[in-house]
Amino acid sequence: MWLSVRLSVYTPTSKRAGSRSITRSPAQGSACKDLRRNGQSPAITSEAAYTTTPKRAGSRSLQKGDVVLNTDRLYQHGTLAMLVPGLFAGTQTVGELLQHGDTGIGTLTGLDGELIIQAGKVYQVNAQGKVREVQEDEKVPFANVHYQHDVAAGKLQGLDLAGFHKATLERLQTGNLFAAVRVEGTFTQMHTRAVLPQQPPYPTLTETASGQKEFHAENIKGTLIGYFSPDLYAGAVSPGFHVHFLAADHSMGGHILGFELDSGELFLQKFSDFQLHLPTDDQPFLKQQFDTTSLVADILKAES
């Protein structure tokens, strides 16, 4: 099983200037017409919303109607490193993000709250602790999504956040692969946060910590969703665990700072592919000079 790290500029070509498209030769054009006459579809169509899974040994896919979804791939728009100097402008719509997965986490333009994506629906927990469903035309500066096809990895009981990290790594049996983590359970205590929406000129990521709002709940049922990322890719990602929470009744949620788990079921999904999508039209990103000496330390400080 290979780990594929791809710098992708995939965007529907009609969406922006400077996008790249596929041009068919005259022979290919004729072949496509012949296929349509026979009631078949050409291999390349402008209507295709997803990329089918490569036919390779060990690859996994999920059939949804006539579409094959790649469940081996973790898709990420933007990087944590981009947020460190304050690149908080939204550079991809939620609708475009959902073309690459139905489950995940992220944030909105200006770090406006915390996102939890479940079953293709995107929820925001804002700095007032309120939960709402996000519209497809809203934008994200950073988000992770995948097509959920996880497997049960056993029961968890009586764990705090550190104990959860340890137990999950033991069941993953490696620290060198990306993985989605999910817990459905009851928490005796849940401690989360959401950042106040920032306005241009944006502050740095660490400066936003003073404006974050924290929330506490007791004896609450809900879903923990997030990812484990290997240290090897620190900077592009936040190394280790990055997890969000959404209560079953949508009464609270956010970026998890701590918890006490009563009992729950752990689900895991390892990925062989990591697709990184960059905002190639965003001038602040293209011109930014990143300070790599303190990059990872700043990410870990902001995420803790």
Note whether residue 280 is domain-resident.
yes
Note whether residue 29 is domain-resident.
no
Q: How many CB atoms lie within 10 A of CB 212?
A: 16
The closest alpha carbon to 241, from 189, 182, 191, belongs to: 182
Domain membership of residue 63 as a residue range: 5-9+47-304
Please report which helix (H) or strand (E) contains residue 264, including its range.
strand 253-270
Residue-wise pLDDT tens digits, 14-31: 444 444 544 444 444 444
Note whether residue 33 is domain-resident.
no
Locate 279 and state its tokens.
Answer: 């905002």
Q: What is the pTM of this model?
A: 0.81
Weakest mean pLDDT among 64-73, 106-115, 294-303:
294-303
Residue-wise pLDDT tens digits, 244-289: 999 999 999 999 999 999 999 999 999 999 999 999 999 999 999 9
pLDDT value of position 52: 36
pLDDT band at 11 (very low <50, low <70, confident <90, very high): very low
CATH of residue 246's domain is 3.30.1330.80
> What total of structural domains would you count in the chain?
1
Q: What share of the chain in percent tops pLDDT 90? A: 71
pLDDT value of position 295: 81
278: which DSSP letter? -
pLDDT value of position 56: 43
Residue-wise pLDDT tens digits, 146-203: 999 999 999 999 999 999 999 999 999 999 999 999 999 999 999 999 999 999 999 9
Locate 55 and state its tokens.
Answer: 């036919």
Is the pLDDT reported for residue 78 higher than 50? yes
Average pLDDT over residues 106-121: 98
Note whether residue 17 is domain-resident.
no
